[in-house]
Amino acid sequence: MSGERKVRLGVIGSGKGSNFVALAQACRDAKLPAEIAVVLSDVAESGILKHAVDFGLPARFIAPGPFRTKLDESAESNYVTALREARVDLVVLAGFMRILKGGFLAAFPRRVINIHPALLPAFPGLASWKQALDHGVKVTGCTVHWVDQGIDTGRIIAQQAVPVLDGDTAETLHERIQQAERVLYPQTIGELIRKGVVKVAVA
Amino acid sequence: MSGERKVRLGVIGSGKGSNFVALAQACRDAKLPAEIAVVLSDVAESGILKHAVDFGLPARFIAPGPFRTKLDESAESNYVTALREARVDLVVLAGFMRILKGGFLAAFPRRVINIHPALLPAFPGLASWKQALDHGVKVTGCTVHWVDQGIDTGRIIAQQAVPVLDGDTAETLHERIQQAERVLYPQTIGELIRKGVVKVAVA
């Protein structure tokens, strides 16, 4: 019976959820042949969870445990369980500020993607728009990539260039990159589905 | 009497001279408010010297000395002398395959630029189009930068993004980047002159 349902996305984020909103709109407007099955966050008061509720989507805070930059083992297991219960075909990181370890990635082999606000391999890590501005580049952008255990090191799926303009501040540049992300992320996930790279795992 | 003559460029290259040809055409067609005062090469049979002769421009082979990746001290001094005799206001590296040391750079402070076939700081060094292809990026490009003593580390002046297309080989990607270089380099030098960053040093 595979193929009778849409590809199910599990979105995980820590922040305001601008990429999530773009994905939810694209699914709702049938521009992206997928549905969002669940939205998870490690931040109880995050914008992404509020937006998920506004879209009428299942949304859950799952406590991350005591560490600042990763999930502890039981938290990781809770995330995996929630995604599996939601029968998620693709895990979509959207501003999730923690590193995923091998246990999580082994549960979703080649089914976890992320978007990073720079043209990787340039400027991995935090606040990459500020790194780019400080370095003085004239072109930066955003990158959709498979997630591996490194920090922004996974294989690149798609990239979009974004110009740095005279007079840009970290804020104006970040906003311009985020505008590009909100187009690139739904478009790239759509292409992965249409090409059959991402497909319905369990009918 | 400063301003009565055009900005004089000294072009140095080791290869076929495709960027040189673009610069010479832009000067000839008055798209670039400059003139090429001298063309120097460390390779006697290089295309750049042949093209320079075709354009009727002064062209000289200057032996680089015994090293493979730099000029020896007396060679460096010969290059500096030739550029000074030609009253060069800006030294333009165009496919010059040797590192310039402090002595050369001190002779032309903030007056040496280079073009690199990648979006620096990504993929410095040799065959950067191949590095980009092997890394799997979807966007690469070219960068005009001031030359310092590092390898492709100087301050960035301008960049142009170039897409990597499905099915690209090192050759097809390199050619697409070079097309962008032939537009970006004359355009960037023109802007430096129009903004007064580069100007006539000796009338």
The pTM of the full predicted model, rounded to 2 decimals, is 0.91
B interface with A, Cβ–Cβ < 8 A, is: 119-122, 135-139, 141, 143, 155-161
Name chain B contacts of A160, Cβ cutoff 8 Å: 139
Report pLDDT digits (tens) over A82-113: 999 999 999 999 999 999 988 999 999 999 99
Q: Which residues of chain A have pLDDT under 50?
A: 1-2
Which ipTM score applies to this complex? 0.88
pLDDT at position B4: 74
pLDDT above 90 covers what percent of chain B? 92
Taking residues B105-122, report their average pLDDT.
96
C-alpha span between B80 and B181 (Å, rounded): 26
pLDDT at position A139: 98
C-alpha span between B41 and B98 (Å, rounded): 11
Whether residues A119 and B122 touch (CB distance < 8 A) is answered with: yes
Which of A137, A155, A159 is facing B159, going by the closest CB pair? A137
C-alpha span between B64 and B74 (Å, rounded): 9
Whether residues A137 and B120 touch (CB distance < 8 A) is answered with: yes
Measured in angstroms, the CA of A59 and the nearest CA of chain B are apart by 33
pLDDT at position A196: 94
The one-character DSSP state at A160 is: E
pLDDT at position B2: 47
Beta bridge partners of B112: B91
> Looking at A116, A135, A145, A174, which residue is catalytic?
A116
A interface with B, Cβ–Cβ < 8 A, is: 119-122, 135-139, 141, 155-161
User: What are the tokens at B115?
Assistant: 């073009």
Name chain A contacts of B158, Cβ cutoff 8 Å: 138
Report pLDDT digits (tens) over B46-57: 999 999 999 999
Task: List alpha helices for chain A, DSSP H.
Answer: 18-28, 47-54, 73-85, 102-107, 128-135, 170-194
Which of A136, A156, A158 is facing B156, going by the closest CB pair? A136
Residue B65 burial by Cβ neighbours in a 10 Å radius (0-12, 13-18, 19+) = middle
Q: Are A63 and A75 in contact (CB under 8 A)?
A: yes
C-alpha span between B69 and B99 (Å, rounded): 6
Q: Which residues contact A64 (CB under 8 A, 6 or more apart)?
A: A42, A71, A72, A75, A98
